[in-house]
Amino acid sequence: MTRDYHQTVYTPPKGAADLLLIRHGQSEPARPGHSFPMVDGHGDPALHPNGEAQAIAVGEFLKTDPIDAIYVTTLRRTHQTAAPLAAHLGLVPIIEADLREVCLGDWDGGLYRIKAAENDPRFALAIERQEWGEIPGAETTAIVHDRVRAGLLRIAARHADQRVAVVVHGGVIGAALAIASGSEPFAFNGAANGSISRIVILGDKMSVKGFNDSSHLT
């Protein structure tokens, strides 16, 4: 009898952690002359009503997934985004401070968005060189990648053979997927608010299994 060999469905290897990286929902807009509240040098806007709707959609989409833990950062937009999913699953989110957003120095608190919209020459240079440190007072790309890698590895070490939801920021998702894929630093910047990306970590090895899934938002 001839044996049939079907295509296989990917499953993480034994001992790996399966991380769903969820970008927080849309946050409040920046306005000239007004700064967001600050937390340890980072702007801390709340979710916009659109972002609240995105958080609900994320919760509905993932509520039947076998998720063992939820992580958030020090910034409230991640807590607000995680809240609907946490309520569905009966989980208390855990803070991982190293996955906070890129510190934008003199441009934090909302000014970065304005400078980006105006295509400020220093913003354009940061994008061209893929270097956050071109922004006055900001973290360097290397520093961001070092702490993001450390935070992800800590989570993975705690959750072997488990799936974990990690609600983070656009800059962090960009860093995580660049690290995991070995791509250029900014190759994965621009994940949509409320989108879901996926990396699998085994030991200190990371692999990309999904990027910017926004199907649940439409």
**Is the separation of the CB atoms in 68 and 159 below 8 Å?**
yes
What's 190's DSSP letter?
Answer: -
Task: Look up the domain containing 205 and give its range.
Answer: 37-103+139-211
Domains in the chain, number: 1
Residue 1 has pLDDT above 90, yes or no: no
Please report whether residue 83 resides in a domain. Answer: yes
pLDDT, position 105: 97
* Cβ contacts of 3 within 8 Å, gap of 6 or more: none
How many Cβ atoms sit within 10 Å of the Cβ of residue 136? Answer: 12
Dig out the tokens for 29 from the structure: 């807009």
User: Residue 61 falls within a domain, yes or no?
Assistant: yes
**Does residue 53 lie within any of the structural domains?**
yes
176-203 pLDDT, tens digit per residue, is: 999 999 999 999 999 999 999 999 999 9
Report yes or no on 164 lying in a domain.
yes
The answer as to whether 31 is a domain residue is no
- What pLDDT, on a 0 to 100 scale, did the predictor assign at position 82? 98
- The two structure tokens encoding residue 216: 């649940």
- Indicate which CATH number applies to the domain containing 198: 3.40.50.1240
Residue 190 lies in a domain: yes
Establish if 128 belongs to a structural domain.
Answer: no
Judge contact between 212 and 195, C-beta under 8 A: yes
Spatial separation of the C-alpha atoms in residues 194 and 170, rounded to whole Å: 10
Q: Is residue 114 assigned to a domain?
A: no
pLDDT tier at 218 (50, 70, 90 boundaries)? confident
How do residues 22-57 score in pLDDT, each as one tens digit? 999 999 999 999 999 999 999 999 999 999 999 999
| Mean pLDDT value of segment 131-160 | 98
Can you give the pLDDT at residue 108? 97
Number of C-beta neighbours around residue 144 at 10 A: 24
Per-residue pLDDT of 90-139, as tens digits, reads 999 999 999 999 999 999 999 999 999 999 999 999 999 999 999 999 99
